[in-house]
Amino acid sequence: MSPSYRPRVLFLDTLEEVWQEMERLGVSKQGLDIMAPKGLFRAVRLSNIPAAQANIIKQGMLSKGGEAAVNWTCYLAEQGSTSDLLLLGTLRHYRRLLANLRAQPPSLGFAPLVQALSDVLLRYEGGSLGNMALAGRRFDWGRRTYIMGILNLTPDSFSGDGLLQGDDLLQAALAQAYRFAEEGADLLDVGGESTRPGAEKVPLEQEMERVLPVLERLRREVDLPLSIDTYKAEVARAALAAGAHLVNDIWGLRQPEGEGWNCELARVVREAGVPLILMHNRRARATVGDLGGHYRQVEYDDLLGDMLADLQQSVDFAVSEGIPWESLILDPGIGFGKTPQQNLVVMRRLRELRSLGRPLLLGTSRKSFIGLTLNLPPAERLEGTLATLALGIAAGVDIVRVHDVQEALRAVRISDAIVRGGRARESE
């Protein structure tokens, strides 16, 4: 009888997993230290590297056993020319490359690049994002996934759950907030203007009339952190005074119309000393059909690369305006400024956003890319939504924004138990 070799390909995504697999084999401690970093392969892209530096990096990576792809014109090293780089290697290759670059003469200017590359590798590997205090609660990023319940104080929400449809908006909002709290929500997101593709803008005064009375009551009666979903500085200022604890800006501090930054909203957030959610978004012409609004054409040179660059710009602007980096949460903006197919690509490559080093919020609940994929209306998109939540948690998201809190909680708990290694049930 021939031996049973039982060959299998392992899925090892963290150093801890590689380490554990080697320990099972009885590898020595010295061997673990040497070999574990060889067990994780990473593809890292760098942009706008001067040709001379790019050639040094390429040769350095090759000499360590890795690989580096550059634009072929880089070899000409013409004055002022640059190239993007695609580095391919294990963590051990990167560590040896970084050591090599640190040893280069200071005049070559590698120090900022070495720091940036070190930081992005650490962030992607899940370096601690710390914690955030909100309304007396501590959010420990990476410990478990938190649930944000949606309160749409509008008559025209894409999902059909707009609360401004009966005679008493306040009571309807309170009833839903009580239910979300009982079902296990960790925080609530209150919005007074529909942001679905093709929605009409709401006048400032009308938005305030919708959200302020609700926030004032929720602050007194519901023991949960409250987010105000707005890009208008005046609404944010009044909402924070009425009881909101953080601001959720779908435009990532960019002006909704035209170019430039929303300096006034940044000032409001800075002066209030509250956290800020920065979402990725782009202006595009909306298409409204039977299955909801979406975007048929949005141009990107490099979808994920452009998204990360846009979000990094929002982060840099926020920090330049005095908003602490530790107070920022990022949202990839699923359904905003992206076609249905682009949304699917972002979901598939979501873990790349971990490179930015901030907690991630995922808002996929009932969205049109699910409906268009499954040919289902908003009321029948629960299963599709739960699938996206599980995939998002596997990619490392920290908050999920949902319409169906009870069902989402169940999906989140089992996903956390699988992905976060038994740390899902946090004791409050």
pLDDT (tens digit per residue) in 20-35: 999 999 999 999 999 9
Q: Are residues 23 and 148 in the same domain?
A: no
State the total domains in the chain: 3
- What's the rounded Cα separation, in Å, for the pair 381 and 359? 26
- Residue of 237, 401, 420, 423 marked active site: 401
Q: Are residues 26 and 55 in the same domain?
A: no
Query: In this predicted model, what pLDDT tens digit does every residue of 281-303 receive, in sequence order?
Result: 998 888 887 787 888 889 999 99
In a domain, 425, yes or no: no
Q: Is the pLDDT of residue 157 over 70?
A: no
Q: What is the CA radius of gyration of the chain?
A: 24
Q: The dihedral of CA 382, 170, 398, 229: what is its sign?
A: positive
Q: Is the pLDDT of residue 424 over 50?
A: no
- What's the rounded Cα separation, in Å, for the pair 417 and 415? 5
Q: 124, 144, 166: which is the final residue of a domain?
A: 124
In a domain, 247, yes or no: yes
Closest CA to 296 of 283, 287, 305: 287
Where is pLDDT greater, at 128 or 244? 244
Write out the residue range of the structural domain in which residue 3 sits.
1-39
Query: In this predicted model, what pLDDT tens digit does every residue of 50-102 receive, in sequence order?
Result: 998 999 999 999 999 999 999 888 877 677 789 999 999 999 999 999 999 99
Percent of the chain past pLDDT 70, that is, above it, reads 95
Q: Mean pLDDT throughout 98-110?
A: 95
Q: Which amino acid is at 244?
A: A
In a 10 Å sphere around its CB, with 0-12 CB exposed, 13-18 middle and 19+ buried, how is residue 256 labelled? middle
Q: Is the pLDDT of residue 164 over 90?
A: no
Q: 48 in the Ramachandran plot: left (φ > 0), alpha (ψ -120 to 50) or beta? A: left
Q: Is the pLDDT of residue 256 over 60?
A: yes
Which of 154-158, 253-257, 283-287 has the weakest average pLDDT? Answer: 154-158
The confidence score (pLDDT) of residue 427 equals 40
Q: Which amino acid is at 249?
A: D
Q: What CATH number should be reported for the domain holding residue 116?
A: 3.30.1370
Query: In this predicted model, what pLDDT tens digit does every residue of 229-243 receive, in sequence order?
Result: 999 999 999 999 999
The confidence score (pLDDT) of residue 413 equals 97
Q: 105 in the Ramachandran plot: left (φ > 0), alpha (ψ -120 to 50) or beta? A: beta
Q: Would you call 367 a catalytic residue per the annotation?
A: yes
pLDDT band for 156, please (50, 70, 90 cuts): low
In a domain, 424, yes or no: no
What is the full DSSP assignment across 95-162?
A: HHHHHHHHTS-GGG--HHHHHHHHHHHHHHTT----EEEETTEEEEBTTB-EEEEEEE-SS--TTS--
Q: Are residues 28 and 55 in the same domain?
A: no
- Residue of 64, 210, 367, 381 marked active site: 367
Q: Are residues 19 and 59 in the same domain?
A: no
Q: Are residues 308 and 216 in the same domain?
A: yes
Q: Are residues 183 and 67 in the same domain?
A: no
Q: Are residues 199 and 344 in the same domain?
A: yes
Q: Are residues 366 and 411 in the same domain?
A: yes
Tokens of 14: 């963290």
Tokens of 8: 């299998």
Please name the residue that has the structure tokens 């040497």: 34
The pTM score is 0.92
Q: Is the pLDDT of residue 258 over 80?
A: no
What is the rounded average pLDDT for all residues in the chain?
91
Q: Are residues 305 and 352 in the same domain?
A: yes
For 54, 55, 57, 84, 167, the CA distances from 80, given in Å and listed in that order, are 12, 14, 17, 14, 66
Q: What CATH number should be reported for the domain holding residue 343?
A: 3.20.20.20
In a domain, 16, yes or no: yes
Q: Are residues 326 and 236 in the same domain?
A: yes
Q: Are residues 180 and 307 in the same domain?
A: yes
Q: Mean pLDDT throughout 135-154?
A: 94
> Please, are residues 415 and 393 in contact by the beta-carbon 8 Å criterion?
yes
